[in-house]
Amino acid sequence: MIAAAVIVIGTLVAMASGRVPPILALGTGLAIAGLLRIVTPEELFAGLSNQGVITVGAMLVIAKGIVSTGVVTRATWMLLSTTHTASQAIRRLMLPIGVASGVMNTTPLVAMLIPATRELEQTRRIPARAVLLPIAHVTTLAGSVTLIGTSSNLLIAGIAGGSGVDMGMLAFAPVALPVALAGWLVIALTAPHLLRGEAATTDASREWRVEIPVSGHALIHGRRASSLGVAATQQYELVAIDRWGVLVEPDAIVHADDVLVFTATEAGVAALWGSPLFGLSPQRLYAATVKSGEGRTLHEFENGSLRVVAARTTRSLHETVLEPGETCYVTSDGIASMRSNESIALWQDAASRVPQPGKTWVALAILVGVIVSASVGLAPIALAAFAGAILMVLTRVLSPGSAGRALDWNVLGILAGSVGLGSIVVSSGLADVLAQGVRTLSAGNVLLVVIVLAVATAIMTNLVTNAAAASILTPVGLGISTELGIDPVVVLALIGTCISFTFINPFSHQSNLMVMRPGGYTTRTFARFGVPLMIGVLASVIVVASLLLMGR
């Protein structure tokens, strides 16, 4: 048991230090435990077949399918199109983003919110730093409400299932939902005062000309660009509409086959390409460098599926001559078209496929099907999610390549390794010792048990990954429930809810890291904003969990 304790503590310290990649720390700990025969290889590598890990992988693919339709971007624009203050933006986003966080991975949601808040900053002078961090915390709190809302809940359910405890789709909700609402209230009250700042400005010049064709099924067809927020930002501005060779005013109603002419910064080129409004074909965007000795017009530069989208010029793209070594942005159906073009010397990916709004209802139907089938018991959650991921490819919402790229192997590796770490805790008897320690500290009092578990989980989740915290504390929670004769589902819901309290350490959750640079946050910012929120949610989770356990 001593050797197991040393391995577990050493692994957690290495993960908390930030100097060692978590997956390397976990792998090293598992290897040492296996060589010392503390646990069997089957137990160490059980994470590779754990239903929670499989479900997380499948849900990553489903989330990628939802995002690829552009529905998140469009919904965000509709919510924020008339906001004037950061407080108003936060209030409007809380409920819809919270609901979305409960049914899909939070990472793509936060990824979509970053450009949306930048757009707010550019068009309405609402600082991104006043919105990004509060909404990131909203997503983590809301994700803990459902089984599929966060990977740690799925991991807890997978470990609990081996002990005969069934954690259903809404098993976490009785604890997590009231706590999430309390946390949202604290966020709404404190964010305006603790995250004040000025909107950033940009000096980048709009030296790129971008020409975006409009298809007949485009969302912008029959509407004005200004009504959809794509007429002018700091990154780009619509300067004309090319209608069969005739330039019309940029505020005119857009028709099919129009070409929208923008001036843009280089970042604006990718931002325009990523918009779901224009009905563009599902192709990637490449930055291409012209070969030495070319000097041909961009019209001559095109061949096959390759089409020029943007270049540094003030003239029409078809009339522009690129000098050798200059760069332009092109779209193509694949690398083969790039390789076959003799005018291209070098190229690199500039943006992924254009969102495809036409598949929105298909993608949403698949997500709803997964949720309903798992909730009513038609199929185990892992099987339902796996079938949903396959359907995303079969219905062509995603290409096989896009589905493969949706799998975050680092996240899946950490989850699988954390299951092995939990096996060390259980097989060595550490779980029983820890459970006994909690029981001793609390003297068997249910309220004190809740306080000790809540505080310990909140501290651990801010030091190591939420997966590691879940793998260690789930067996402890199960042991305490058995010893004290209390409801294990409520105890595990308490642990799952507190694992979402990643508010102090910016490195404790991926969403924190994603918003850190765009929001201009520091570790001091996280601590200043996170401490009041941590106090509020800890108080609420202790009250809610205690009432549930004492009432049963």
Give residue 462's identity as a one-letter amino acid code. Answer: N
Residues 532 and 503 in one domain: yes
CATH of residue 227's domain is: 3.30.70.1450
Q: What is the C-alpha to C-alpha distance for residues 394 and 201, in angstroms, rounded to an integer?
A: 44
pTM recorded for the entire structure: 0.75
In a domain, 24, yes or no: yes
| Residue 289 parent element (H or E) | strand 284-290
Q: What is the C-alpha to C-alpha distance for residues 64 and 56, in angstroms, rounded to an integer?
A: 12
Residues 189 and 229 in one domain: no
In a domain, 384, yes or no: no
Q: What is the C-alpha to C-alpha distance for residues 481 and 439, in angstroms, rounded to an integer?
A: 10
The tokens for 264 are: 């843009």
List residues bridging with 262 in a β-sheet.
210, 238
In a domain, 385, yes or no: no
In a domain, 343, yes or no: yes
Q: What is the C-alpha to C-alpha distance for residues 382 and 154, in angstroms, rounded to an integer?
A: 9
Number of structural domains found in the chain: 2
Residues 183 and 96 in one domain: yes
Name the residue with tokens 């949903």.
Answer: 388
- Closest alpha carbon to 456 in 426, 491, 487: 491
Q: What is the C-alpha to C-alpha distance for residues 192 and 175, in angstroms, rounded to an integer?
A: 27
Residues 150 and 117 in one domain: yes
In a domain, 15, yes or no: yes
Please write down the long-range contacts of 21-25, taking CB distance under 8 Å and 24 or more positions apart: 22/414, 22/464, 22/465, 22/468, 23/410, 23/413, 23/414, 23/417
In a domain, 323, yes or no: yes
Residues 536 and 427 in one domain: yes
- Closest alpha carbon to 179 in 145, 149, 139, 153: 145
* CB 461, CB 150: distance < 8 Å: no
User: Residue 9 gets which letter from DSSP?
Assistant: H
The tokens for 296 are: 């041909």
Q: What is the C-alpha to C-alpha distance for residues 86 and 89, in angstroms, rounded to an integer?
A: 5
Residues 186 and 242 in one domain: no
Residues 75 and 212 in one domain: no
Residues 15 and 139 in one domain: yes
Residues 109 and 48 in one domain: yes
The tokens for 38 are: 């503390």
Give residue 460's identity as a one-letter amino acid code. Answer: M
State phi, psi for 386 to the nearest 5 degrees. -60, -45
Domain boundary among 357, 373, 395: 357
DSSP sequence for 320-339: -BPPTT-EEEEEESSHHHHH
Give residue 12's identity as a one-letter amino acid code. Answer: L
- pLDDT tens-digit profile, the chain (552 residues): 778 888 888 887 887 776 778 888 888 888 888 888 888 888 788 777 778 888 888 888 988 888 888 787 778 777 877 788 888 889 988 999 899 888 887 777 787 777 778 777 766 778 888 888 999 999 999 999 998 888 889 889 888 887 888 888 889 999 999 999 999 999 999 988 887 765 455 545 788 999 998 888 888 888 888 887 788 877 888 999 999 888 899 989 999 889 999 999 888 888 888 788 887 777 788 888 877 555 667 766 776 678 888 988 888 888 888 777 788 888 887 777 777 777 777 777 776 667 778 888 999 999 999 989 888 888 888 899 899 999 999 998 888 888 888 887 887 888 888 888 878 877 777 777 787 777 777 777 889 989 999 999 998 888 887 888 888 889 888 988 888 888 999 999 999 999 999 998 887 787 888 888 888 888 889 989 999 999 999 999 999 999 998 875
CA 437, 438, 441, 446 torsion-angle sign = negative
In a domain, 397, yes or no: no
- State the residue range of the domain holding 309: 208-357
Residues 434 and 539 in one domain: yes
In a domain, 364, yes or no: no
The three-state DSSP-derived secondary structure of 114-181 is HHHHHHHHHHHCCCHHHCHHHHHHHHHHHHCCCCCCCHHHHHHHHHHHCCCCCCCCCCCHHHHHHHHH
